[in-house]
């Protein structure tokens, strides 16, 4: 939960963060989005550059904070395309074999449908949360 809270605080700290939600999206598991070449840690950045910088920094720390962890961020498919104000965040971590034998196979976490579907990767457990203003 703290990891997702960190991303939410980054978005809130960006003056144009909730207008730039698409800049926080990352549709590939285990991928780290690129950051602006100038860096925003010591340089002034636009809202778009800061969103890209924050996304890069946030995704870079996932595997360090959660061994084998992965994340995806996406715009809510439940809202009209021009009015999406929710950022979906799905965190995944490896499924422990003992959990399968003790509790059975966990239910697969999926959100959306068709081309907008986001599903937990195989052999992982996921947590899904939405960030909104």
Residue 125 β-bridge partners: 93
Local structure of 122: helix, strand or coil: coil
- Give the residue from 2, 7, 17, 15 showing the smallest Cα distance to 72: 7
Residue-wise pLDDT for 25-41, tens only, equals 998 888 888 888 777 87
CB atoms within 10 A of CB 124: 20
* Cβ atoms of 26 and 59 closer than 8 Å: yes
Residue-wise pLDDT for 78-112, tens only, equals 655 556 678 999 999 998 754 455 555 555 666 76
CB atoms within 10 A of CB 110: 13
């Amino acid at each position: 939960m703290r990891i997702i809270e960190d991303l939410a605080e980054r978005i809130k700290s960006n003056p144009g963060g909730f207008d730039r939600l698409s800049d926080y999206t990352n549709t590939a598991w285990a991928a780290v989005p690129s950051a602006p070449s100038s860096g925003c840690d010591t340089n002034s950045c636009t809202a778009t550059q800061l969103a890209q910088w924050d996304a890069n920094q946030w995704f870079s720390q996932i595997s360090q904070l959660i061994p084998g962890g992965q994340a995806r961020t996406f715009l809510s498919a439940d809202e009209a395309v021009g009015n999406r104000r929710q950022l979906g965040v799905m965190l995944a971590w490896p499924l422990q074999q003992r959990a399968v034998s003790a509790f059975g196979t966990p239910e697969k976490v999926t959100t959306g449908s068709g081309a907008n579907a986001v599903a937990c990767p195989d052999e992982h457990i996921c947590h899904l949360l939405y960030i909104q203003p």
